[in-house]
Structure 1
Amino acid sequence: MRRLYRKKALSLVKELDAFPKVPESYVETTATGGTVSLIAFTAMALLAFFEFFVYRDTWMKYEYEVDKDFSSKLRINIDITVAMKCQHVGADILDLAETMITSNGIQYEPVIFELTPQQKLWHRTLLLIQNRLREEHSLQEVLYKSVLKGAPTALPPRPIHHPRGHAHIAAFVSHDTYNFSHRIDHLSFGEEIPGIINPLDGTEKITSNHNEMFQYFITVVPTKLHTSKVSADTHQFSVTERERVINHAAGSHGVSGIFMKYDTSSLMVTVSEQHMPLWQFLVRLCGIIGGIFSTTGMIHGFVGFCFDIVCCRFKLGPYKPREVNPHVNNCAAPLLTDNHVQE
């Protein structure tokens, strides 16, 4: 009984077979079918190869939400070179009420404003990257994933409590000796992350006028960065630049110097690195193989069908009628006459 039950179950399973096998004696291979098969297998291999690189690649996902953190301190990282002597320059940070927040702890290092050939090469490279960033925003994703060494900061980072204010660099000497030509080697907010190039990095302003005001209006956006190499809380920012000559006689009033006015945004951006899951890669791979196999089979069948119709219509190929050779003797049996029948 058990054997009989097993045979019935096995026969039932065989009836459910959706992939019945055809005996090899019933299968006919053709040159066109082999050519289409080679093309299909080549396309499958190429697309599967490229799909593997897509699977290994990552992309950045941006999410926006309201910033609910009101107690953290804003950290400023700045490295700026001014074409004046250190003892003639002073820097401070003020809030909106023009109250000085801090001016202690800022280090002044005497350097040469002119760059060496190697520094000029690095500066040109940095400006080229900045131009690419302005033209194509997606390049920022590459910078998020890369690991580059940042320049050392001459002015150390200072944490401050106020979310808004401005940094001011002024001179302590006569107006005739002012020279606020400057180069911003690095300016960032929050935790420093190697590989991130900020909008003002590499900015250079050269002026021949003694009384000139340079203003940078900055909007700081809190950013959480999560990648395979780094996870940090930092800040992005956008900037608007303005510069004008101070001439009280012409009605252009103000104070000569370098001003950086910043304000924090109420939105927070979360940047996370995304990767294609393995199951999605396998599904896409099966879709590529099955799609190419089915498509090439349908195309091959349709082309063969059209070819048969054309050949049948114009009597070509296998449908061409055979010609009868008149020189060939037809062998026919002789007819019997009545005499032969009577005999």
Structure 2
Amino acid sequence: MRRLTKKKALHLVKGLDAFPKVPDSYVETTASGGTVSLMAFTFMLILAFLEFFVYRETWMHYEYEVDKDFKSKLRLNVDITVAMKCQYIGADVLDLAETMVASDGLNYEPVRFVCLFVLGRTLQHIQERLREEHSLQHVLFKSLMKDSPSSLPPREDHPSAPQAACRIHGHLYVNKVAGNFHITVGKAIPHPRGHAHLAALVSHDSYNFSHRIDHLSFGEKLHGTINPLDGTEKISPDHNHMFQYFITIVPTKLNTYQIAADTHQYSVTERERPINHAAGSHGVSGIFMKYDISSLMVRVTEQHMPFWKFLVRLCGIVGGIFSTTGTDEGLPPVYSPAWLKPTLYVIFNPEPDVWSCDVSLDWQRCA
């Protein structure tokens, strides 16, 4: 009784088979079919291989939210070489609240303005990478400039060479409000309404604000990243000249498969003009970097294709190629005489004593 029940169940399950099988005796292998199968398997292998590379690729996902951290300090990292002696210039920060930030974290080092070959090649490489990529932040966040040095090479100034330039490097902690980092003639002194620079004792013939920005960034340093102003060099055509950089800082939370950190991106607009009071071009000679901090924060996350989606896409490739090639093979060759002959034979040459089946036409009649 149990066997009968089991057989009935198997018979019912067999009736639900949505993939009927053709008997092997009805299947004929041909050279054309083998060629199509070989091409299908080759094409399938190529697409699967390319799909694997797509699966390994990652992309950056950007989210925007309001930056609620306004009480913390912002770190300003600077490394600038100015073509003037250190005793003639001073650097400091004055923010929007008229607060003068102490410049104790900056070091003044007498150097040569012309950089040596190794440093020059490094800065040139940074500038080339800044200009060759259309969407640079996508490349930087993913790779963090793997082929770039983690820091600038050390300077190797010859002790006997004239050191008529000044390298200002170090870091400052500023308030998270708009401010102005500037380098101008004279040392800075505090003032009830802000601050002032003692420039009266410096001759105008000594003014030369040709400069090279080796590094300028905001936030904690991340090895392998570059910034828009890194490697920038400006030559002053005259003594009284003003260089202005208008910087917009965007707080950024970076979370990739390599690193997770809080950093800051920035964009910059450059402007320069001569100072000529007689011609109506007023101002103060020097280098002025006016920065403003965006109220929006960018959250950058590196994402990857899920494994289940990769399997679904792979199954789609395999199944699609199998279905397409199977359909092409099943189409009858309309203009082939080999197809017409068996058709005419079945119609005009009936033999009732012989049972056969024309598989190519799927006829189930006596022939």
| Superposition TM-score tier, normalisation by shorter sequence | 0.7 to 0.9
Q: Which residue of 2 aligns with 1:156?
A: 170
Q: Deviations over 1:209-261 (max 9, x none)?
A: 11100000011111100001110111111111000000111111100000000
- Structure 1 residues 283 and 164, CA, compared in 2 at 3 Å: closer, same or farther? same
Amino acid at match of 2:282: H
In 2, the alpha carbon distance for the partners of 1:270 and 1:60 equals 10
Counterpart of 1:69 in structure 2 is: 69
CA distance in 2 between partners of 1:46 and 1:125 (Å) = 37
State TM-score, norm by structure 1: 0.85
CA distance in 1 between counterparts of 2:319 and 2:341 reads 38
Distance 1:275 1:198, change over 3 A: same
- Match of 1:53? 53
Q: Any conservation in 2 of the 1:94–1:102 contact (CA below 8 Å)?
A: no
Question: For the Cα contact (< 8 Å) 1:170–1:258, is it kept in 2?
Answer: yes
Matched residue SS, 1:108: strand
1:266 aligns with 2:295: yes
Shift of 1:103: 1.9
Secondary structure class of the residue paired with 1:217: strand
Q: 1:256 to 1:72 in 2, by over 3 A?
A: same
Q: Does 1:141 align with 2:138?
A: yes
Aligned-residue offset at 1:37: 0.8
Shift of 1:301: 3.2
Moved more, 151-160 or 282-291: 151-160
Q: 2 CA distance for matches of 1:37 and 1:65? A: 54
| Aligned with 1:226 (options 255, 258, 280) | 255
* Structure 1, 209-218 or 142-151: larger mean CA deviation: 142-151
The aligned residue for residue 291 of structure 1 is 320
CA change 1:243–1:115 in 2 (3 A) is same
1:229 maps to a residue whose letter is: Q
Return 5+ residue gaps in structure 1 as ranges.
322-343
Deviations 1:263-310 (A, max 9, x none): 0111111111001111011001001111111122223334xx3xx322
Partner SS, residue 43 of structure 1: helix
Partner of 2:335: 310
Aligned to 1:341: none
Secondary structure of the 1:68 match is coil
Q: Structure 1 counterpart of 2:141, which letter? A: Y
Rg comparison, structure with higher value: 1
What residue identity is the alignment partner of 2:69? D
Q: Distance in 2 between matches of 1:318 and 1:6?
A: 45
For 1:54 and 1:8, the matched residues in 2 are separated by 49
Match of 2:126 in 1: 126
Letter in 2 for 1:215: Q
Q: Would the aligned equivalents of 2:119 and 2:152 in 1 still touch at CA under 8 Å?
A: no
- Cα pair 2:216 2:230 within 8 Å, conserved: yes
Q: Which moved more, 1:292-301 or 1:235-244?
A: 292-301
Judge conservation of contact 1:107–1:155 (CA < 8 Å) in 2.
yes
What residue in structure 2 maps to residue 200 of structure 1? 229
Q: Given the alignment of the two structures, is residue 33 of structure 1 paired with residue 30 of structure 2, yes or no?
A: no
The CA deviation at 1:162 is: 3.9
How much does 1:97 deviate?
A: 4.6
Aligned residues: 310
Alignment of 1:91-130 (within 5 A): 91-130=91-130
How much has 1:161 moved relative to structure 2?
2.0
Of 34-43 and 170-179, more deviation after overlay is shown by: 170-179
Are 1:170 and 2:205 matched, yes or no? no
The 8 Å contact of residues 103 and 172 in structure 2, kept in 1 or not, is answered as: no
Q: Is the 8 A contact 2:70 2:176 kept in 1?
A: no
1:19 aligns with 2:19: yes
Q: Compute the displacement of 1:98 (Å).
A: 4.1
How far 1:187 sits from its partner (Å)?
0.9
Q: How far 1:94 sits from its partner (Å)? A: 0.3
Q: Secondary structure at the match of 1:188?
A: strand
- Aligned-pair identity in percent equals 65
Specify the alignment match of 2:245 in structure 1: 216
